[in-house]
Structure 1
Amino acid sequence: MAASCSLVCCGEERDSDKAVIVRFSNGNVKHADQLDFTMYKNADESNPRKKSRRIMAAESDRLAYVGNNFGAGSLKCNNLCKYYVGVLNRQTMQMEVHVAQLFNMQPVIPGEATETPTAQDTTQTYRDKVDSLIEAFGTNKQKRALNTRRLNQVGSDTLHQAVAKAANTVIHQKGLEALQQEVAETEAQDDLALHLPPCNAGADKPENVYLFDDLLSPMELGALEQAGSKLAALTFEEIHKMRDDGGSLCVVKYLENMPTVGEARDKVSCCAFYLWMLLKMARQKNVTRKFGQEEGCPRIIQSKLLRTFTVETFNNGRVQNMVSSSMRAKLAAYSLALMLHMSHMTGDLTLLHRDLGITEARMNEVAKSMGLTLSKMPRGKADKSDPRDTNRQASLVLPLVKYEQFTERRKRKKMH
């Protein structure tokens, strides 16, 4: 009768307790006991991107092998799968299951690569290597072509001197302040253009210019049903309390004017919750992984917000998600596009810029870069009892409006 064994899971293991599986790229090793294995780890344990780096070395009388779990020569399967190895204890007949790491061992030939590469080796491109081969083993025709190409090239030192001379000439003619102003305006334009939602300027309908599926996919909209239903179930008193406690004015406006029943009510409630999360994120500088958990934000929406509207930075050995000024402009553009679908292609810019915590001029720049039509009722005709008449509105009207960039600087008034 065969003896039976039981499995024992080792749980969370340290790096020193993990099993190691090696694979030799040039064949199979017949006498593995004759190899001396040594593992090295990265000394920078405070850096989360480097603390898990390992190098496995194996030495024999004839050849040495090296493998690592990072870089170009590492196995990509370590990032996609998790491997386990079972070790049988023949005395207790228990099999311990350990987490395993895979290494691809490659032979190291002496003299093939130096331990301390020179600056010329590190900066040598593929073209430089091919030229070296042509110089050593090329035909006469290839060598003549190489010499002709090198004669036609402009030396790097001469090119740098020409560029520096041209830059000094431009700075002397225009002035440093004027150039800095032009660079700032160009970066501001590029910044807004890169962070706008996908736009179809040639659409035949206004709702097809900024597609709703580009803002919220059907799967993400379905994940918001539970959170949106809780938001739609708030009473009139709770909505007013939310506004008095410093809540989002845009979200309160949509909750007050929400459709009574039907699919339109469910869609508006889901969009209102997503808009609430966008406006809340715009008010923060550092966003943690627990963002939106108190409000019941689904995990798929939380991951989307962190991936789309934050920038990863490295600080004190930790990776942080920050909301930069460009990401705040992106939040403004996506919030405005979402509001267009919620209220018949019209959005209230005054309420939106207050909720986002940005200036009205910055909000107008975002709306103009999206090609929207800005409107505001004149003071004499505006009804002060209705905030929609006094606030600035942005509407999506086809064809989209192309605004000219205003680059003139205002003159300062003289003090008398």
Structure 2
Amino acid sequence: MAAASWCYRGEPQEEQSALLVQFSNGKLQNSENMDFTLYKNQDATNPRKKHQRILTSETDRLSYVGRNFGSGVLKCNSLCRYFVGVLDKDSGQMEVYNAELFNMQPLLSGDLIDDDPSDYQNKSYREKVDSCIEAFGTNKQKRALNSRRMNQVGSETLNVAVMKAAENIIEAKGVAALVNDAAQDDLPDVSIFLPPCHEDADKPENVYRFDDLLSPAEYEALQTPAAALVNMTPEEILKKADEKSHCSFVLEELKSMPLSEESRDHKARCLWFLNALIKFSFQKVIKKKYPMGPDCPPIINRKLMKNFTALTYNNGSIQNLISASMKAKITAYVIALALHINNFQTDLTMLQRDMRLRENRMVEIAKAMRLKISKRKGPSGLLADEEHKLATLSLPLPSYRPSGRQQKRKKMS
């Protein structure tokens, strides 16, 4: 017999499958009488579906089914890698293939379609489709099926119930209150994109906590890239302004760095991250894994991708998109970070121009954050005679009243 050796082959051929199975209700004693069938999702373009598989097996006593997607999928498939080795005893050569583990669940009689084919043939097309969804549908399809079945009530009964409920609501709240609630529901709600707000805080710094903006690990990772901002000279600041590598707000803050070394380092880290947030907001579709380049720490790149982009499906691939709602979220985090930098009072006009937003949009987000809006003269050297909007975080927090159609209705009435 030749000396033993092995060769890694990766994925098996298209007509083959390397699968490992385990049975949830015990160990298999005799595998000779088992018949296995593998079903593959026909949608080969959708990255979420093209790897979906369903494995079935039959014995004299029970039928089993296992799948690699859905709520019952094994967590170990995403945490571990499995391999299958095929040994040629004559040559001593073993070929190693990638494999996937399936957990085979017994399929009870209540889960099967009636064995009588005549009953199945007599079913409507909708009933047949529903049976397929019950057996092989996705979680979303099963939820939709259950919802539709629960909502199948008589139209007369439904109309009576709706009329009764409407009469009770009108009697309890009154017509004026209902009209006001409807107007409020029509308004765009930006509050869901704001940083966590602690309304019961006893200090301004605890309303939008710094740890909610930057975790300790993310803050630590900013030390290296922010080191260049700690002791920047006026000449270097002018050079950065000419290169347009940093926004105006950051350059203006670099002119007044604190004397304490620890405070300078803290402010530099905050300014670096704020500048990264603003630059990140200018992108539309993120095509790179690390959108801010190699100089940005990986943990910051992951934070930007995870927290400030929306997933979208386009042309057979998943893309990260900075939508209008994500732009609003970035703006809210920029304002919160600027408040921590400037002792909870910051220049909204400079931030608005750096982020290329309309003034009313910037002010609306600041009001949603429960900030007080005032006016002041702009900083020296930047059109000092111009009035700038100033946002202040102070306690108690003012109430938020969205602007828009609700105010117009009040004026018309």
TM surpasses 0.5: yes
Give the distance between the partners of 1:277 and 1:8, measured in 2 at CA.
47
Q: 1:124 to 1:277 in 2, by over 3 A?
A: closer
Give the distance between the partners of 1:181 and 1:67, measured in 2 at CA.
50
Aligned counterpart, 1:33: 32
- Structure 1 residue 195: deviation in Å? 1.3
Gaps of 5+ in 2: 114-119, 121-126, 135-141, 169-174
Alpha-carbon RMSD: 3.9
Aligned counterpart, 2:250: 251
- Structure 1 residue 396: deviation in Å? 1.7
Give the distance between the partners of 1:209 and 1:87, measured in 2 at CA.
62
Gaps of 5+ in 1: 129-149, 167-172, 412-416
Aligned counterpart, 2:407: 408
Confirm whether residue 274 of structure 1 aligns to residue 276 of structure 2.
Answer: no
Identity of aligned residues (%): 42
After TM superposition, list the pairs within 5 Å mapping 1:66-145 onto structure 2: 66-108=65-107, 112-114=111-113, 117=128, 123=145
- Structure 1 residue 36: deviation in Å? 3.0
Aligned counterpart, 2:123: none
Confirm whether residue 155 of structure 1 aligns to residue 157 of structure 2.
Answer: yes
**Contact 1:85–1:97 under 8 Å retained in 2:** yes
**Contact 1:231–1:269 under 8 Å retained in 2:** yes
After TM superposition, list the pairs within 5 Å mapping 1:50-69 onto structure 2: 50-60=49-59, 63-69=62-68
Give the distance between the partners of 1:163 and 1:358, measured in 2 at CA.
44
**Contact 1:348–1:388 under 8 Å retained in 2:** no
Give the distance between the partners of 1:346 and 1:201, measured in 2 at CA.
18
Q: 1:33 to 1:229 in 2, by over 3 A?
A: same
- Deviations 1:85-112 (CA, angstroms, capped at 9, x unpaired): 3444433434444322111223446674
Aligned counterpart, 1:223: 221
**Contact 2:226–2:272 under 8 Å retained in 1:** yes
Whichever residue aligns with residue 355 of structure 1, its letter is: D
After TM superposition, list the pairs within 5 Å mapping 1:383-402 onto structure 2: 385=381, 390-402=387-399
- Structure 1 residue 164: deviation in Å? 10
TM (normalized to structure 1)? 0.76
Partner-residue secondary structure (3-state), 1:377: strand
- Structure 1 residue 383: deviation in Å? 7.6
1:192 to 176, 190, 193: 190
Whichever residue aligns with residue 391 of structure 2, its letter is: A
- Deviations 1:323-363 (CA, angstroms, capped at 9, x unpaired): 12121111111101101111222211011111112111111
Count of matched residue positions in the alignment of Structure 1 and Structure 2: 373
Q: 1:291 to 1:182 in 2, by over 3 A?
A: same
**Contact 1:282–1:357 under 8 Å retained in 2:** no
More moved, 328-337 vs 287-296:
287-296
Give the distance between the partners of 2:253 and 2:376, measured in 1 at CA.
21
Confirm whether residue 340 of structure 1 aligns to residue 342 of structure 2.
Answer: no
Aligned counterpart, 1:137: none
**Contact 2:2–2:91 under 8 Å retained in 1:** no
Q: 1:54 to 1:405 in 2, by over 3 A?
A: closer
Aligned counterpart, 1:315: 314
Q: 1:156 to 1:79 in 2, by over 3 A?
A: farther
**Contact 2:332–2:366 under 8 Å retained in 1:** yes
Confirm whether residue 358 of structure 1 aligns to residue 360 of structure 2.
Answer: no
Give the distance between the partners of 1:46 and 1:383, measured in 2 at CA.
55
Aligned counterpart, 1:143: none
